[in-house]
Amino acid sequence: MTEADADAPVIARGTGLTEIVPATASRCTGRTADSKKWVSERYRPQADRWLALNMISSINGSATGPDGTSETLSNRTDRMILGVIRDHADAVLVGAGSVRAEGYVMPKTAVLAVVTRSGSLAGHKLGDDYDAERLVVLYPAGNEEQVLANLGDLPCRRLAMPGNDPGPAEIVETLAANGYPSVVCEGGPSLAGQFIRAGQVDAVYLSVAPTFVLPARPLIGGDDEFQRWFTLDGLLVDDDGNTYHRLRPDTQDRTAA
Amino acid sequence: MSDSTLTGQAAEIRDEFLDLDLSSRLELLLEFSNELPALPERLADHPELLERVAECQAPVFIVVEVDDGLVTMFAQAPPEAPTTRGFASILAQTLNGLTVDEALALPDDYPQMLGLSKAVSPLRLNGMSGMLQRAKRQLRARVGR
């Protein structure tokens, strides 16, 4: 690995990031505006309509640390990258379970889009001073009565999806039709698994923390037999050994080959 | 939520905290505390060059230098006091590389802008305010203002 190249922004003390794939060995250090710009160029969506899946994992594939949240796998650099990815998105998409478990804070510019079957967001930690238009609740039209009853007077934008059992395609379609074509899905595992299986993912952004964790909670949910290959588009590594992968769905079926 | 008077690294660090829920802000503070570098040898061997921050219960020492018009703050705080050490690290990362004018323009209530008032005791926040005030006083003394 070479030292910092001449053009890389070297700004302040802090954890550096080195680009491994493509093999430029370009580096950025610190978490300043220049570093964010450096990262932002690498995470820019490649189409107006875009669905990226953003995940963090331990070495053994756990989506959460021992405390049951992803926070104990994350670090400052990972959160900086998360912020950049969110800045590129119109909507941050999560399952209702994640909002209850993870203590979400509203994204700075994107809306927070929460998928729920029941409308129960009890225990959310969004605070009470957010802009109601920036919390979007997506629910099946077939379950509207129960959802609206459970939501009560929660300040939010309510978006019904067609049918009783809408899947990833309906989620993406509903978001795009309402002004949110660029989406980053942050899980949880069940929602992430649905998107992977449905082939509705344009990119996977995966951070891997160099730690083994038990009990392990799988990155994606689902019990049925399934495999899908991805191609590595980009790889950054920070000075603490955390790796940041950018993957896109393989266009070829490797299993058949 | 954002305070427009903050710029550069000070604003970045403030936003980094405000983007998190309360318990995660404490974890971030711990991460900052792990990032405080050891004193360079020339200072480690001459503790008399550092000023004790009396507002902190833990033994915290700082010194601010100006080289080519740019500010560098060094700090020493024990690992056993991670909150205070985290504050010292935040302040060092905020001030380092600023011009003297930029550093002196950092609002005195910067510690209160980080969204930590419900997570740490007022005594500790006052400790960080003490660090900032002493850093500014050292700066003024160095440039004769």
Q: Which domains does chain B have, with CATH numbers?
A: 8-143 (3.90.1010.10)
pLDDT at position A131 is 87
Q: Are A221 and A98 in contact (CB under 8 A)?
A: no
State whether A75 and B31 contact (CB < 8 Å): yes
Q: Which residues of A touch B96 (CB under 8 A)?
A: 12-13
Task: State the average pLDDT over residues A78-91.
Answer: 94
Quick check: is A38 in a domain? Answer: no
Task: State the average pLDDT over residues B30-45.
Answer: 91
Of the partner residues A12, A33, A125, the one whose CB lies closest to the CB of residue B93: A12
Residue A204 scores a pLDDT above 80: yes
Q: Are A194 and A167 in contact (CB under 8 A)?
A: yes
Q: Which of A63-67, A77-81, A124-128 bottoms out in mean pLDDT, i.e. has the lowest?
A: A124-128
Chain A interface, mutation test: which of B24, B71, B89, B95, most A Cβ atoms within 10 Å? B24
Q: Which residues pair with A246 in a beta bridge?
A: A205, A234
By CB atoms closer than 10 A (0-12, 13-18, 19+), residue A19 is: buried
Quick check: is A109 in a domain? Answer: yes
pLDDT at position A253 is 67
Q: Which residues of B touch A108 (CB under 8 A)?
A: 15, 19
State whether B31 and A105 contact (CB < 8 Å): no
- % pLDDT > 70, chain A: 92
Of the partner residues B12, B27, B31, the one whose CB lies closest to the CB of residue A32: B12
User: Domain with A161 in it: what CATH number?
Assistant: 3.40.430.10
| Chain B residue with minimum CA distance to A109 | B19
Q: Express each pLDDT in B63-116 by its tens digit.
A: 999 999 999 999 999 999 999 999 999 999 999 999 999 999 999 999 999 999
Task: State the average pLDDT over residues A119-130.
Answer: 79
pLDDT at position A121 is 86
How does residue A97 score in pLDDT terms, banded at 50, 70 and 90? confident
Quick check: is A211 in a domain? Answer: yes
Quick check: is A200 in a domain? Answer: yes
Of the partner residues B18, B21, B37, the one whose CB lies closest to the CB of residue A13: B37
Residue A4 scores a pLDDT above 80: no
0.85 surpassed by complex ipTM: no
Quick check: is A19 in a domain? Answer: no
pLDDT at position B1 is 42
Residue A27 scores a pLDDT above 90: yes
Chain B interface, mutation test: which of A15, A28, A32, most B Cβ atoms within 10 Å? A32
Q: Which structural domain, as residue segments, surrounds residue A74?
A: 47-229+245-249
pLDDT at position A254 is 73
Tell me the one-letter amino acid at B36: L
State whether B16 and A31 contact (CB < 8 Å): yes
The alpha carbon torsion through B24, A207, A93, B118 (nearest 10 deg) reads 10
Quick check: is A73 in a domain? Answer: yes
pLDDT at position A33 is 77
Chain B interface, mutation test: which of A10, A11, A13, most B Cβ atoms within 10 Å? A13
Q: Are A81 and A238 in contact (CB under 8 A)?
A: no
How does residue A255 score in pLDDT terms, banded at 50, 70 and 90? low
State whether A14 and B35 contact (CB < 8 Å): yes
pLDDT at position A256 is 59
Q: Minimal Cα–Cα distance from A226 to chain B, Å?
A: 35
State whether B35 and A13 contact (CB < 8 Å): yes
Residue B5 scores a pLDDT above 90: no
Q: Which residues of B touch A33 (CB under 8 A)?
A: 8, 12
Quick check: is A95 in a domain? Answer: yes
Q: Which residues of B touch A72 (CB under 8 A)?
A: 27
Task: State the average pLDDT over residues A168-176.
Answer: 97
Q: Express each pLDDT in B40-71 by its tens digit.
A: 999 999 989 999 999 999 999 999 999 999 99
State whether A105 and B19 contact (CB < 8 Å): yes
Q: Going by C-beta distance under 8 Å and a sequence separation of 6 or more, which residues neighbour residue B137?
A: none
Q: Going by C-beta distance under 8 Å and a sequence separation of 6 or more, which residues neighbour residue A29?
A: A4, A9, A10, A11, A12, A13, A14, A15, A16, A17, A35
pLDDT at position A11 is 31
Residue A13 scores a pLDDT above 50: no
Instruction: Tally the domains of chain A.
Output: 1
| Chain A residue with minimum CA distance to B24 | A71
Quick check: is A224 in a domain? Answer: yes
How does residue A9 score in pLDDT terms, banded at 50, 70 and 90? very low
Q: Which of A30-44, A46-60, A73-87, B68-82 bottoms out in mean pLDDT, i.e. has the lowest?
A: A30-44
pTM, whole model, 2 decimals? 0.83
Q: Cα dist. B120→A76, B46, B48, B55, B133 in Å?
A: 20, 32, 30, 15, 19
The three-class DSSP label of residue A231 is strand
Q: Are B64 and B139 in contact (CB under 8 A)?
A: yes
Place of tokens 């409308």: A119
Task: State the average pLDDT over residues B3-30.
Answer: 85
State whether B9 and A12 contact (CB < 8 Å): yes
